[in-house]
Structure 1
Amino acid sequence: MSDLESRVKQAVAEAAVEQVRSGMVLGLGSGSTAALMIQALGKRLSQGQLDNITAVPTSFQSQVLASSLGIPLVDLNHVEAVDLAIDGADEVDPGFQLIKGGGACHVQEKLVASAARRFVVVVDASKLVERLNLDFLLPVEVLPGAWALVSRRLRAMGAECELRIAQRKAGPVVTDQGNLVLDAHFPGGIGDGAELERQLNSIPGVVENGLFVNLVDQVLVGEATEQGIHVRTLVPPDGP
């Protein structure tokens, strides 16, 4: 990551933490921008700018980082609702549909986003796309014993797909839930995310997919211009 990219991500992370209030139950996302957000949150807690915060992590990554910063953590099963969830995205389209799951954390991320009263997405401008899945593959989490079956079903739907293979480790990526990930590409991209999400989740063996539809309340977009680094706010016209 270049210094400029790092500063853009830092700016959007700080803008998201500005929305946090004492006493909130927070959803802590995963990924590089979310990690900066967690660090900024930890700093405000340590300085006494915020207190009585409880956080629900969306991955081992966010759990370990938050714990190291002294942020109190709780399991999603032990809260009635999440006041504010903040997370990144791999792609955001004009209809506020997302693809998430580049880090294979999308199952827990979707659970937390669904439980949140407000879901704020933090991205840099490169993540804004006209149509999902033209460049970024759609993750589909599957039970280990079903990946071949689900692969055949995806191909029957017209998708190209491959089992995600781990880096610097022999074998496939294993998610925090102990499952495998198929990365799918639908020629022409994804328009109706809600219908595709329904079709994917009806396939036996599919645990969840990386489409986030009708969940977003706000997108904070960090971008660098000749005038400096700025954060834009995008809001769905009719809400989620």
Structure 2
Amino acid sequence: MADFEKQKMNAAVKAAEYVRSGMLVGLGTGSTSYYLIKEIGRRVREEGLKIRAVCTSRKTEDLARENGIEILQNTDDQIDLTIDGADQVGMYGTLIKGGGGALLREKIVAYNSKEMYVIVDSRKIESTHFGSFPLPVEIVPFMHLRTVQNLRKICEQTDIRRTENGEIFVTDNGNYIADMRMGKINDPLDLEESLKNIPGVVEVGLFNGIAKRIFEGTDDGCNIYRITDHGIEREEVYFDH
């Protein structure tokens, strides 16, 4: 049986090797990014790595601070490298993100980066049914019921995300998230444009043409893929000895 936590850790540790002193680094949010931040923190303590970081959520910020990473709240500098997880990766490198509720900040950070690397376990790359993971859409609270109705014109199975106790989930920016169960997304660029044209939509959890490399963790190492105009191409296979 696959060890998905080990896969996440292997992907994160390998991607962390690309972080160098002097960099401004974007740190993602989620269970795979947890291992990334822990590994970067280890390098800060043991290797004297010196970086500054922009965090994509308050949770990430707290974890980075605990691990001795210098945090910037705001900057006009371009980010050198952002490393983040993904809920699903399509064969041309399009991502679905936002399962952890931080998609707006994640997209702002990724867009303002020279490069974005994605760290995932072996379940996340989807060659035939991209869109089987629900697509998160961040919306403003004002008139959100009507916004959801408008989203349902595109995907009938759209609902406001709620916490375990039934309350509406609120993002770090004070917004709500609507999850769209598309089943399959054939044209992510067209879908993103259509959704963004709906008043009340803040951001869409589709990341088109942003990621440069995919680190897919395995039980014994990591597959590294480069994203080209022709799709995802394997660049390196790394085994953890």
TM exceeding 0.5 = yes
**Sequence identity percentage:** 36
**Residue equivalent to 2:229:** 238
Structure 1 Cα separation of the partners of residues 222 and 7 of structure 2: 8
Structure 2 vs 1, CA of residues 176 and 239 (structure 1 numbering), >3 Å: closer, same or farther? farther
Unaligned 5+ segments in structure 2 are 232-241
**Residue equivalent to 2:65:** 67
CA deviations over 1:150-206 (Å, ceiling 9, x no partner):
211122124310111111x3411000101111100225x112111111111111001
Instruction: Say if 2:195 is the partner of 1:196.
Output: no
Letter of the structure 2 residue corresponding to residue 232 of structure 1: N
**Residue equivalent to 1:179:** 175
**Residue equivalent to 1:23:** 22
**Residue equivalent to 1:50:** 49
CA deviations over 1:202-232 (Å, ceiling 9, x no partner):
11001111111010100000123xxxx1211
What secondary structure, in the 3-state scheme, does the structure 2 residue paired with 1:235 have?
A: strand
Instruction: Say if 2:140 is the partner of 1:143.
Output: yes
CA deviations over 1:133-162 (Å, ceiling 9, x no partner):
22x110111111132112111221243101
More helix by share: 1
Structure 2 Cα separation of the partners of residues 219 and 159 of structure 1: 32
**Residue equivalent to 1:84:** 81
What secondary structure, in the 3-state scheme, does the structure 1 residue paired with 2:178 have?
A: strand
Query: Does the CA-based 8 Å contact 1:38-1:66 persist in structure 2?
Result: yes
Aligned residues: 230
**Residue equivalent to 1:212:** 207
Structure 2 Cα separation of the partners of residues 46 and 158 of structure 1: 48
**Residue equivalent to 2:111:** 114
Letter of the structure 1 residue corresponding to residue 43 of structure 2: R
Structure 2 Cα separation of the partners of residues 152 and 137 of structure 1: 17
Query: Does the CA-based 8 Å contact 1:217-1:239 persist in structure 2?
Result: no
Structure 2 Cα separation of the partners of residues 201 and 178 of structure 1: 18
Runs of at least 4 residues off by over 3 Å: none
Structure 2 vs 1, CA of residues 16 and 133 (structure 1 numbering), >3 Å: closer, same or farther? same
Letter of the structure 1 residue corresponding to residue 77 of structure 2: E
Instruction: Say if 2:149 is the partner of 1:152.
Output: yes
The residue correspondences of 1:115-134 to structure 2 (distance < 5 A) are 115-130=112-127, 131-134=129-132
CA deviations over 1:24-78 (Å, ceiling 9, x no partner):
0000000011011001000100113412x10000001110000111100002x31
1:4 Cα deviation from its structure 2 partner? 2.5
Structure 1 Cα separation of the partners of residues 155 and 176 of structure 2: 21
Structure 2 Cα separation of the partners of residues 213 and 159 of structure 1: 23
Structure 2 Cα separation of the partners of residues 170 and 95 of structure 1: 36
1:132 Cα deviation from its structure 2 partner? 2.0
The residue correspondences of 1:30-41 to structure 2 (distance < 5 A) are 30-41=29-40
Scaled by the length of structure 2, the TM-score of the pair is: 0.91
Query: Does the CA-based 8 Å contact 1:98-1:132 persist in structure 2?
Result: no
Structure 2 Cα separation of the partners of residues 232 and 239 of structure 1: 18
Unaligned 5+ segments in structure 1 are none
